[in-house]
Amino acid sequence: MYRIGQGIDFHQLVEGREFWLGGILIPHTKGALGHSDADVLLHAICDALLGALSLGDIGQHFPDTDMAFKGVDSKILLSKCYQLVGEKGYKLVNVDSTILLQAPKIRKYVDDMRKAIADILNVSVDDISIKATTTEQMSFIGREEGIVATANVLLQKNS
């Protein structure tokens, strides 16, 4: 049996924050604003994993009102979400994701992000797809005010 999940996350970009994306720190003048490290890609993958099995969303499991998650590394959140997937008897087949941002260009970081995510989810880097696009300077993304990530996952019931 297979299950498909879809996730999306948005964060505002602001001066004075580290820019975490796909589990790695990327040099940039702005970072995502959020209760955790605000890694939009990992958050979108978390929601896709949870959604595939009707387990709610990231905010339900890690509320921004809980100080235990203040500044938390999103790799921990992803690991905890994947643990829930395993407890339901499923494993990941693949992730397909897209990041929407104007800057910085992230092509040179994608392989490191794929490896970081694959390590957490115990799959091959070939099972992790990360694409990026700009909005051609349109909208809050084009004005470098925010970032969006989407993710789709395919899960398979363990045999």
pLDDT class of 69 with cuts at 50, 70, 90 = confident
Query: Pick from 154, 146, 58, 147: which is nearest to 99 by CA?
Result: 147
If you ran DSSP here, which 8-state letter would residue 102 be given? S
What pLDDT does 142 receive? 92
- Return d(Cα 42, Cα 22) in angstroms, integer: 6
Average pLDDT of every residue of the chain: 96
**Where along the chain do its domains lie?**
2-157
Entry pTM: 0.96
Is the model's pLDDT at 14 over the cut of 90?
yes
Q: Region 124-130: what's the mean pLDDT?
A: 98
Q: Region 75-98: what's the mean pLDDT?
A: 98
Instruction: Write out the two tokens for 111.
Output: 């392989």
Q: Percent of the chain scored above 70 by pLDDT?
A: 100
- Return d(Cα 3, Cα 114) in angstroms, integer: 22
- Return d(Cα 100, Cα 103) in angstroms, integer: 9
Options 3.40.50.300, 2.40.50.140, 2.60.40.3950, 3.30.1330.50; which CATH number does 2-157 get? 3.30.1330.50
Q: Region 62-87: what's the mean pLDDT?
A: 93
